[in-house]
């Protein structure tokens, strides 16, 4: 990855492609590249959908290699949903293919005049930007079906659906999986709307003629990768729970812990939880001829994805993730897996973040637009978004805007982004992460559930405030570094519990780049990324007053523990004091 492609979509005479050396971003990848580039090159006060914003697409440090778990792609920009800096990442094939073609980043700049829609073709001959108005307002599945007829099955695709074209703030960017389904999404923060504002509908990446990226020390790299895979396979989470039941293995766990929010965060227990659990889902998938174990990209050894079929054995969607099952399921009082799968397909097809949309529908239900538990009503609300009706445009812009339009008092967002599937009152550590993350409420920014609930990497009592700030701080630093490598965040379970697996990861990086990175170097990289993100947000007008949860989490106890969020403001302000 020795070059950066800049595509000025607003250049006179039409989009202009410039290729330049990687320069200051050499040796970086993923979130390190996107966040450092956005913080350096984007005006923090720009309008996120204007010409000044940039969309930075970057594979990870180890993407495009033979290493396992290295296929995450980062997309960065100023978020139209939160107004903060944003990095959103996804699996699928795009990162591996883009890295093999040699690009450390592809940067979409400027904004074209007129209403033409463009596609970008990246291959060994270079980069072409072409008008393709035949794709206008098409959704992701038909877009990919159409493009496959032209560009074939041996490429990777990125695309936006109608939500991104309509500049909805909940819009995502789809990346195709190994079977070329648009199921892996850079979901959070409205990155799809930024791609839509650049009038880019799809990116086709073809690595024909290219081989895997070569490590500085191939033998040491192979040995380190072997040890790394062994560690993942022997850990109970990455080697057993996730492959058997997917991420939705967490439904029963969180429900039993009393931290599974339902009916718009009114209770921590969902009575219908067992009906939509990972165990129930895997059993149904296998019964219908689907898959309970499947990789979202080649080289994945955890295999936490799957395939969900209908009762007649026909494909519906990829296995709905835990967050999706919660947001469209328990959060909305829905305990029907077929309904959840249909809503998941609609999210992927229209190009929407499943967390944002599920929370939004729950807020709409709280406003009286539908009854909690009404499956058909939830589907009809999603159909409004797909049609782009006035109501659909409101819903497509997320939970906060929907709550304001319909006068809902308790809207679960931080920095305008919907809170995910863990209530911060009985799980204090995740509340610290939600409040202080640089990108709005985000469980992946510092996954305190690992230690609060699953007891991975130690044991910090989820009901007490002691130790939560330090836990969230350390996890946010580590996560930023992992997001730079291109590795899946789920490797954290093994590397937190197994020193030898953490060392194997370091050995992979050092064997590839010829470096001597150690644990302190990982910490330093994470701190560098977070510092750049914090500086951007500060310049955009964010202060410590924005690092707070909505007031009702402090005032309204939640069953069954009857507890509020108790970490003080002063403690929250200490998270980034390193």
**Angle (nearest 5°) at CA 468 between 77 and 265:** 70
Nearest C-alpha neighbor of 184 from the set 346, 39, 68, 72? 72
Distance CA 108, CA 56 (A): 6
Say yes or no to pLDDT of 201 above 90: yes
DSSP strands (E only) in 126-178: 126-131, 156-159, 173-175
Q: What is the pLDDT of residue 292?
A: 85
pLDDT tens-digit series, residues 87-142: 999 999 999 999 999 999 999 999 999 999 999 999 999 999 999 999 999 999 99
Q: What is the pLDDT of residue 162?
A: 98
Q: What is the pLDDT of residue 234?
A: 96
Axis crossing angle, helix 375-387 with helix 354-366, rounded to the nearest 10: 120
Number of alpha carbons in the 13 Å side-chain half-sphere of residue 123:
13
Q: What is the pLDDT of residue 151?
A: 98
Distance CA 246, CA 273 (A): 16
Distance CA 572, CA 556 (A): 19
Mean pLDDT of 444-457: 96
Say yes or no to pLDDT of 294 above 90: no
Residue by residue, DSSP assigns 103-129 as EEEEEEES--SSS--EEEEEETTEEEE
Average pLDDT, the chain: 97
| The 3-8 sheet, strands edge to edge | 16-21, 3-8, 103-109, 55-59, 73-78, 85-90
Mean pLDDT of 499-505: 97
The dihedrals phi and psi of 436, each to the nearest 5 degrees, come to -105, -10
pLDDT tens-digit series, residues 9-44: 999 999 999 999 999 999 999 999 999 999 999 999
Say yes or no to pLDDT of 295 above 90: no
Say yes or no to pLDDT of 269 above 90: yes
Place of tokens 């400027």: 110
Q: How far is CA 312 from the centre of its chain?
A: 31
Distance CA 397, CA 406 (A): 13
Distance CA 269, CA 203 (A): 42
DSSP H helices in 30-126? 30-41, 94-101
Nearest C-alpha neighbor of 461 from the set 487, 419, 416, 429? 429
Q: Which domains does the chain have, with CATH numbers?
A: 3-205 (3.60.9.10), 215-245+424-578 (1.10.599.10), 253-381 (1.10.569.10)
Q: How far is CA 62 from the centre of its chain?
A: 19
Of the listed ranges 168-177, 234-243, 341-350, 535-544, the least confidently predicted one is 234-243
pTM, 2 dp:
0.97
Place of tokens 């093994």: 494
**Angle (nearest 5°) at CA 193 between 20 and 541:** 85
pLDDT tens-digit series, residues 56-80: 999 999 999 999 999 999 999 999 9
Say yes or no to pLDDT of 293 above 90: no
Say yes or no to pLDDT of 256 above 90: yes
Say yes or no to pLDDT of 304 above 90: no
- Whether residue 215 contacts residue 221, with contact meaning beta carbons closer than 8 Å, is answered with yes
pLDDT tens-digit series, residues 334-377: 999 999 999 999 999 999 999 999 999 999 999 999 999 999 99
Distance CA 556, CA 3 (A): 52
pLDDT tens-digit series, residues 369-389: 999 999 999 999 999 999 999
Distance CA 506, CA 519 (A): 8
Place of tokens 């969607």: 317
Residue by residue, DSSP assigns 317-338 as EEPPPHHHHHHHTGGGT---HH
Helix (H, G, I), strand (E, B) or coil at 199: coil
Tokens of 544: 């410590």
The one-character DSSP state at 214 is P
**Cis before 560 (ω within 30):** yes
């Amino acid at each position: 990855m020795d070059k950066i492609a800049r595509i000025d979509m607003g250049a006179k005479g039409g989009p202009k492609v410039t290729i330049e050396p990687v320069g200051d971003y050499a040796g970086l990848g993923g979130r390190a590249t996107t966040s450092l580039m956005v913080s350096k090159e984007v005006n923090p006060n720009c309008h996120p959908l204007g010409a000044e914003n940039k969309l930075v697409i970057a594979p990870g440090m180890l993407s495009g290699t033979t290493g396992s778990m290295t296929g995450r792609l980062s997309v960065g920009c100023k978020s139209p949903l939160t107004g903060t800096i944003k990095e959103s990442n996804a699996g699928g094939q795009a990162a591996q293919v883009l890295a093999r073609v040699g690009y450390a980043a592809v940067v979409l700049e400027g904004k074209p005049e007129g209403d033409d829609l463009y596609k970008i073709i990246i291959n060994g001959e270079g980069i072409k930007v072409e008008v393709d108005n035949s794709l206008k307002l098409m959704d992701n599945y038909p877009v990919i079906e159409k493009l496959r007829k032209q560009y074939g099955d041996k490429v990777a695709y990125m695309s936006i659906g109608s939500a991104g074209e309509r500049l909805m703030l909940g819009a995502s960017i789809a990346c195709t999986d190994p079977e070329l389904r648009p199921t892996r999404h850079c979901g959070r923060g409205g990155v799809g709307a930024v791609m839509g504002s650049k009038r880019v509908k799809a990116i086709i990446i073809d690595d024909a003629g290219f081989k895997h990226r070569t490590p500085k020390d191939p033998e040491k790299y192979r040995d380190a990768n072997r040890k790394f895979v062994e560690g993942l396979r022997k850990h109970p989470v990455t080697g057993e729970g996730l492959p058997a039941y997917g991420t939705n293995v967490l439904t029963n766990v969180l429900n039993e812990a009393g931290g599974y929010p339902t009916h718009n965060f009114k209770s921590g227990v969902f009575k219908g939880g067992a009906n939509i659990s990972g165990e129930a889902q895997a059993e149904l998938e296998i019964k219908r001829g689907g898959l309970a174990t499947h990789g979202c990209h080649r080289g994945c050894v955890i295999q936490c994805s799957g395939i969900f079929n209908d009762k007649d054995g026909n494909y519906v969607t990829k296995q709905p993730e835990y967050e999706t099952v919660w947001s469209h399921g328990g959060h909305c009082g829905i305990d029907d897996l077929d309904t959840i799968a249909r809503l998941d397909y609609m999210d992927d097809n229209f190009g929407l973040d499943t967390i944002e949309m599920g929370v939004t529908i729950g807020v709409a239900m709280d406003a009286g637009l539908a009854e909690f538990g009404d499956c058909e009503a939830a589907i009809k609300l999603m159909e409004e978004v797909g049609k782009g009706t006035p109501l659909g445009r409101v819903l497509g812009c997320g939970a906060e805007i929907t709550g304001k339009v319909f006068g809902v008092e308790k809207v679960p967002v931080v920095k305008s982004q919907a809170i995910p599937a863990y209530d911060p009152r009985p799980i204090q550590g995740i509340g610290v992460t939600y409040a202080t993350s640089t990108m709005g409420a985000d469980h992946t920014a510092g996954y305190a559930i690992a230690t609060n609930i699953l007891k991975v990497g130690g044991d910090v009592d989820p009901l007490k405030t002691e130790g939560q700030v330090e836990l969230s701080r350390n996890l946010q630093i580590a996560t930023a570094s992992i997001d730079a490598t291109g590795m899946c965040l789920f490797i954290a379970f093994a590397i937190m519990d197994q020193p030898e697996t953490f060392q194997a990861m370091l050995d992979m990086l050092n064997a590839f780049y010829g470096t001597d990175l150690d644990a302190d170097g990982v910490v330093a990289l994470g701190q560098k990324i977070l510092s750049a993100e914090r500086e951007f947000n500060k310049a955009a007008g964010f202060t410590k007053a924005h690092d707070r949860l909505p007031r009702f989490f402090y005032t309204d106890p939640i069953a069954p523990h009857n507890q509020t969020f108790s970490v003080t403001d002063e403690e929250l302000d200490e998270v980034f004091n390193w």
